[in-house]
């Protein structure tokens, strides 16, 4: 996401307002700017740690109540870094007794190339609610979700996508830590041409 950092943090909303107001970096007597950030000092007094605290990984009560948790994160998200949700998910796995026990009720999907919740270079248009509804109603967790990259990334689309929506390509998105790999044959713009693979060790 490095290429979008200037847009996210150099502009007025994120770069100045967030750190000045929410990050609590601005003394009352001074108007803080991004150029004032002191890498050796400011992180210690920033309120970011309060805004984004560690989350309790003990989800036993949630699981026992029949809860289902479908988490997703854009792999190109510059506002909420993907490493944080991956760290949380792996901590849940260790707390809940391993991957199999966790994926019975909680699955995490990292969408390659997707920005913050929507947009970006990846297949960002995914009907998360339908996948979650199906999991709750049938008891079958999603082993794959199909995403679409739209040439017009406006957010007012509805699912299922109709033929008027400009889809550039589709991709499968698998539960973490699996990711999609092109089979080597077939249309590279079709999700059907990809298979799940585990990360290299």
198 against 49, higher pLDDT: 198
* 46 band by pLDDT with thresholds 50, 70 and 90: low
Paired with 114 in beta bridges are: 120
Most confident of 23-27, 80-84, 162-166, 192-196: 192-196
Residue 184 pLDDT > 60, yes or no?
Answer: yes
pLDDT tens track for 16-25: 666 666 665 5
What's the Rg (C-alpha) of the chain?
20
69 against 19, higher pLDDT: 69
* 78 band by pLDDT with thresholds 50, 70 and 90: confident
Task: Output the six-digit token pair for 94.
Answer: 């260790």
CB atoms within 10 A of CB 106: 21
- Any idea how long the chain is? 201
196 against 79, higher pLDDT: 196
User: Which segments within the chain are labelled E, that is strand?
Assistant: 69-74, 106-111, 145-150, 167-173, 179-182, 194-197
29-43, 49-63, 68-82, 132-146, range with the lowest pLDDT: 29-43
CA 145 vs. chain centroid, Å, equals: 14
pTM: 0.80
Q: Which helix (H) or strand (E) holds 84?
A: helix 82-96
Most confident of 37-51, 151-165, 166-180: 166-180
């Amino acid at each position: 996401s490095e290429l979008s950092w200037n847009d996210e943090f150099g502009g007025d909303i994120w770069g100045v307002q967030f750190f000045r107001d929410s990050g609590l970096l601005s003394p009352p007597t001074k108007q803080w700017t991004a150029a004032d950030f002191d890498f050796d000092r400011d992180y210690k007094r920033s309120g970011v740690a309060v805004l984004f605290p560690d989350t309790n990984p003990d989800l036993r009560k949630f699981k026992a109540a029949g809860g289902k948790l479908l988490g997703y994160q854009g792999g190109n998200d510059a506002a909420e870094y993907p490493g944080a949700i991956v760290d949380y998910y792996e901590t849940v796995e260790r707390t809940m007794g391993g991957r199999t026990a966790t994926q019975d009720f909680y699955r995490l999907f990292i969408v390659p190339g997707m920005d913050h919740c929507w947009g970006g270079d990846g297949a960002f248009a995914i009907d998360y609610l339908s996948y979650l509804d199906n999991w709750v109603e049938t008891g079958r967790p999603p082993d794959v979700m199909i995403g679409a990259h739209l040439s017009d990334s406006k957010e007012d689309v509805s699912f299922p996508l109709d033929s008027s929506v400009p889809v550039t390509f589709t991709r499968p998105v698998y539960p973490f830590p699996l990711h999609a790999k092109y089979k080597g044959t077939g249309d590279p713009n079709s999700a059907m041409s990809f298979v799940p693979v585990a990360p290299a060790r």
